[in-house]
Amino acid sequence: MEGKDLVIIGAGPIGLACGIEAQKAGLSYIILEKGCLVNSIYHYPLNMTFFSTSERLEIGNVPFISSSPKPTRSEALEYYRRVCTSWKLNVKLYEKVEAVKKEDRLFLIKTAKYNYQAKAVILALGFYDLPYLLDVEGEALPKVKHYYDEPHPYFGQKVAVIGAANSAVDVALETWRKGAEVTMIIRESSIRESVKYWVKPDIENRIKEGSIKAFFDSEVIRITPGTIEISTPVGNEILENDFVLAMTGYQPPFDFMKSMGITFHDDEYNTPVYDEETMESNVTGLYLGGVVCGGLKTNKWFIENSRVHAEIIISDLQRKMVVK
């Protein structure tokens, strides 16, 4: 069993930032990642552009140069690879953490490959692994996708896009521009206010002119190989359909967090309990960093406003002498 001062779970931007701070502080640490480096970003749509400008995504004082002010997914992948190599971070990829248990004052971390012991643990788990399901008949059909990669497969196809937030809007516009026949099914009565201000008029005008069809106050009831049945304010409708792109959002791994003893506020977002001054959870020595801190409020934390968690956590660790 390998012993460390600190185990960081998740090699997203915030897990990497925590590794950098730990290294600067002289702590022995390891970052454990179940997939590839910055696994969530790797799974974002291929043509995605960040809404943040590149300098706001920087960590560890490594400059992020991109060809336009807002970087693309592939520029971000290249950037975080470079951060990892220039800081020589101790990252183990493709090693999923299956359990974290506190025994006495030490944490036992069990992965698919090894066991580790640590004096402190940071959970930088993100929220991109568990999509909200539609929970309707036919959802398991191969034509139903909860992740979107690129528009080409949808050329000439009847595509239903479910949702009204940024991802759904981006997917509807991109697939329509590449030749899909797009219908949006939207539970609310309008496109979300939180949609990027430079994109919102685009989708609203495409809907107004009828290029993209939209059913508001409507929900999916059933999916079959050739159709989608929806409820609308004027009754149920059955639409011909080839693909369903369910862009209904994602949620943090609550069960995994609960299994470690983390408790949650009784609020609408199921916000995990942590001290905002230190990022320490209700379990002493177990810290939360990055977007996982927002619970179901997945638009509260981003890379740009949560990269500071790394410094806060490591200075608290040093101050409390949890790690000697």
Ligand X SMILES: Cc1cc2nc3c(=O)[nH]c(=O)nc-3n(C[C@H](O)[C@H](O)[C@H](O)COP(=O)(O)OP(=O)(O)OC[C@H]3O[C@@H](n4cnc5c(N)ncnc54)[C@H](O)[C@@H]3O)c2cc1C
Binding residues for ligand X, per CB under 6 A?
9-15, 32-35, 38-41, 44, 48, 50-52, 96-97, 124-126, 128-129, 167, 290-291, 302-304
Q: Least distance from C-beta 227 to ligand X, angstroms? A: 29
Select 96 or 258, whichever has its Cβ closest to ligand X.
96
Q: Least distance from C-beta 313 to ligand X, angstroms? A: 12
Q: Least distance from C-beta 324 to ligand X, angstroms? A: 26
SS3 string, the chain, reads CEEEEEEEECCCHHHHHHHHHHHHCCCCEEEECCCCCCHHHHCCCCCCECCCCHHHHCCCCCCCCCCCCCCEHHHHHHHHHHHHHHCCCCEECCCCEEEEEEECCEEEEEECCCEEEEEEEEECCCCCCEECCCCCECCCCCCEECCCCCCHHHCCCEEEEECCCHHHHHHHHHHHHCCCEEEEECCCCCCCCCCCCCCHHHHHHHHHCCCCEEECCCEEEEECCCEEEEEECCEEEEEECCEEEECCCEECCHHHHHHCCCCECCCCCCCECECCCCCEECCCCEEECHHHHHCCCCCCCCHHHHCCHHHHHHHHHHHHCCCC
Select 12 or 138, whichever has its Cβ closest to ligand X.
12
Select 97 or 228, whichever has its Cβ closest to ligand X.
97
Select 51 or 254, whichever has its Cβ closest to ligand X.
51
Select 126 or 151, whichever has its Cβ closest to ligand X.
126
Q: Least distance from C-beta 170 to ligand X, angstroms? A: 8
Select 33 or 242, whichever has its Cβ closest to ligand X.
33
CA distances from 27 to 97, 120, 148, 299, 317 (A): 21, 11, 39, 32, 10
Report helix angle 13-24 to 73-86, nearest 10.
20
Q: Least distance from C-beta 253 to ligand X, angstroms? A: 6
Select 16 or 228, whichever has its Cβ closest to ligand X.
16
Q: Least distance from C-beta 177 to ligand X, angstroms? A: 17
Q: Least distance from C-beta 246 to ligand X, angstroms? A: 14
The CA-CA-CA angle for residues 143, 144, 147, to 5°, reads 115
Select 59 or 223, whichever has its Cβ closest to ligand X.
59
Select 51 or 216, whichever has its Cβ closest to ligand X.
51
CA distances from 307 to 27, 126, 190 (A): 19, 13, 33
Q: Least distance from C-beta 41 to ligand X, angstroms? A: 6
Q: Least distance from C-beta 297 to ligand X, angstroms? A: 12
